[in-house]
Chain A
Amino acid sequence: AQSVSQHNHHVILSEAASLELGCNYSYGGTVNLFWYVQYPGQHLQLLLKYFSGDPLVKGIKGFEAEFIKSKFSFNLRKPSVQWSDTAEYFCAVNGGYTGFQKLVFGTGTRLLVSP
């Protein structure tokens, strides 16, 4: 079955630091990849997605992610974080054995940005 691993469960950064959150998935075939964010007290929102084409995907609020098929990875990056980026970040994938309907999520990474 498809699985998603997020290596960092908690990350603490100072404002202006660079961010990279790891995400690896298990299936090597055709997949769609997503990063969702959940700000405190808010519901899950889409940050960015990869369906096909350019493996470097730009999302909202200055986030980007790079799909590296050979490494089964879709790491999330931001060059300079802000206090308002404090949130929980989830990587998700669909495709392969699980089909393209349901999403398989990682366990999430809690990011705390100190001002």
Chain B
Amino acid sequence: GAGVSQSPSNKVTEKGKDVELRCDPISGHTALYWYRQRLGQGLEFLIYFQGNSAPDKSGLPSDRFSAERTGESVSTLTIQRTQQEDSAVYLCASSLGQLPDEQFFGPGTRLTVL
């Protein structure tokens, strides 16, 4: 079946602009996760959704970052007033939401802030 999809695959923006990144999880997966991978580093957790609510936002690096999920499906990650340090690959994952659980990752969105 279809895996996790993300769009756009690449995004180049100017410092100070807002960007929206989209994630379509695997159908039927109730849990959705956003991670960020900066160059030369491992993945860092940003936010986790169970259904449409976000019980864990602890990884969002600043109030410029926000995310929402609607219809227990698509999620968008919004970064306002982008900064150069926001340049990274943003990865989305989804899972069944049961414990123990396995997360399935999308291809990521490469964000470059000039």
Tell yes or no: B108 within 8 A of A by CB: yes
CB-defined contacts of A99 to chain B, threshold 8 Å? 56
B56-A101 in contact (CB<8A): yes
Given A101-B31, A102-B48: A90 in contact with B42 (beta carbons within 8 A): yes
Q: Mark A17-55, 1 if CB is under 8 A from B, else 0.
A: 000000000000000101010000011111001011000
**Which chain B residues (21-74) contact chain A, with CB distance < 8 Å?**
31, 33, 35, 40-45, 48, 50, 55-56, 59
Interface size range on A against B: 20 to 34
B interface size (C-beta, 8 A)? 26
B43-A105 in contact (CB<8A): yes
A positions within 8 Å CB-CB of B: 4, 6, 32, 34, 36, 42-46, 49, 51-52, 90, 92, 99-108
Choose from B33, B40, B42 the contact partner of A4 (Cβ within 8 Å).
B42
Given A43-B108, A44-B105: A101 in contact with B42 (beta carbons within 8 A): no
